[in-house]
Amino acid sequence: MSESFYALEARYVLDCLPPREKIVVTRARGMKIKDVNGREYTDLFSGISTNNLGHCHPEVVEAIANQAREFMHVSAYYYHELEATLAQRLSSIAPGGLSKTFFCNSGTEAVDGSVKIAKLLASSRGKSGATVIALKGSFHGRLSLTLSLTGQRKFKANLGNYANYPGVVHTASPYYYRCGEGVSEEEFGKRCADEIRDVIENYAAGDVAAVVLEPILGEGGIIVPPDTFLPRVAAICREEGVPLVVDEVQTGFGRTGRVFACQHWSVEPDVMALAKALGGGLPLGAIMVSESVSKAIQPGDHFNTFFANPVCCAASLAAITVLQRENLPERASRIGSEVLKRLGESQEKIASIGDVRGKGLMIGIELVKDRSTKKPAPELAQEVKKEMLRRGYIVGVGGIFKNVVRLQPPLIISEDEAEKATSELISSMGQATH
């Protein structure tokens, strides 16, 4: 690509994004992304855990084109048939009694709106709802409320009160690898959950409007909680009368081996925030609520211009149809287990692998300078990412300490592709370590 392109970027595009790869994409199909120089990459990151069906699935593309030919936007002052159809479809796959849906445009909006609904619910019950509990190490977005919920300091520099929404309290991260020293995993999960009860009963300012959490912490470094954690949090929320808001923005739509990650633990949230893979590649978010929560919402309480954009709804319906028909959650579970097993075995040979964890095709490899001190190795994670890119593979890097290599490929990845990609990753980690 000519340098004049980057000069144009530098001159006209606001430079606020984290460092980007110098890849100018011209086409993407299935597992592959092609750049302007004709170089092809295998995508193992799915546009940040979003392209669960791969790029440009033909049925999604066709649904988008068909709808775009009819109408693209009329605003939420009118109805169209796809919004109720999609809401019905979502409630047919969602956990428990999540029966009503509001549509928005992103994960940030979905989480922010979920808290707004929780506050309305508290108010309808005569409670202050002054406090919202979130987890240390979490990620929920980058605007005021969601950034305040986000339990990672590194996103909040130079923002004063903007990232300090009143009443947000963070409790223990269920991060066994780093915080569970000397305790069994089972006991650690219980203790993390009990901290939530402690805040509700003893420390919160007024009543608690909601507990907000990711069932598996994505940006925090693919942190899978102990099995005891989520069911106990759900029980505490039920006993204390506090709604549980589950942020499935990153974990939803088959990524972890179930349609929604909270289903691994048979947890039925009161509110669920969705985005990313929901739109089949287009920007679409959603808030799903139970019947009883929906009673707290009055006409006029919430709105947005692009509510249930018809083209996004068409894409979403097509994407869910393919996800179910191809049984992609089961596929993610099967292929993910194999990848996890092989990565786990590679720990024996590569000393910098501190931990390998994940569920389905949401996998993280935490790299450390020294296994006994667990000192994070963020530079090594960057090196592995670079080496993989050199070999033609796109992987992600994340984690509270930026030292977790993230493997979140499209769920359509074949066994062969997964095996080859895993070998390349193991070899890249071995190379970067020496």
| Among positions 43, 195, 219, 270, the unique one binding ligand PLP when judged by CB under 6 A | 219
Handedness of CA 240, 245, 248, 252 (dihedral sign): positive
Torsion angle, CA of 235/236/241/242, rounded to 10 degrees? -110
State the DSSP H helix or E strand holding residue 164, giving kind and residue range, or none if neither.
none
Binding positions for ligand PLP, 141-160, rule CB under 6 A: 141
From 136-144, 199-207, 289-297, 404-412, give the range in contact with ligand PLP by CB under 6 A. Answer: 136-144
| Among positions 139, 175, 253, 306, the unique one binding ligand PLP when judged by CB under 6 A | 139
Torsions phi, psi for 421 (to 5 deg): -60, -40
Structure tokens at 332: 């993610």
Torsions phi, psi for 323 (to 5 deg): -55, -45
Q: For the chain, first and last CA: distance in Å?
A: 32
Binding positions for ligand PLP, 226-245, rule CB under 6 A: none
Cα–Cα nearest to 356, from 413, 256, 426, 296: 426
Burial class (CB in 10 A: 0-12, 13-18, 19+), 268: middle
DSSP label at residue 72: S
Binding positions for ligand PLP, 26-85, rule CB under 6 A: 48
Binding mask 197-216 for ligand PLP (x = CB under 6 A): -----------------x--
Binding mask 267-296 for ligand PLP (x = CB under 6 A): --------x---------------------
Residue nearest to ligand PLP (CB): 107
| Amino acid sitting at position 232 | R
Q: Tell me whether residue 152 or residue 428 sits nearer to ligand PLP (CB atom).
A: 152
Residues 32, 394: Cα–Cα separation, whole Å: 10
418 binding ligand PLP? (CB under 6 A): no
Taking the complex as a whole, how short is the minimal distance between the CB of residue 68 and ligand PLP, in angstroms?
Answer: 22
| Among positions 64, 87, 104, 111, the unique one binding ligand PLP when judged by CB under 6 A | 111
250 binding ligand PLP? (CB under 6 A): yes
112 binding ligand PLP? (CB under 6 A): no
Interface residues toward ligand PLP, by CB under 6 A: 48, 106-108, 111, 139-141, 214, 218-219, 247, 249-250, 275
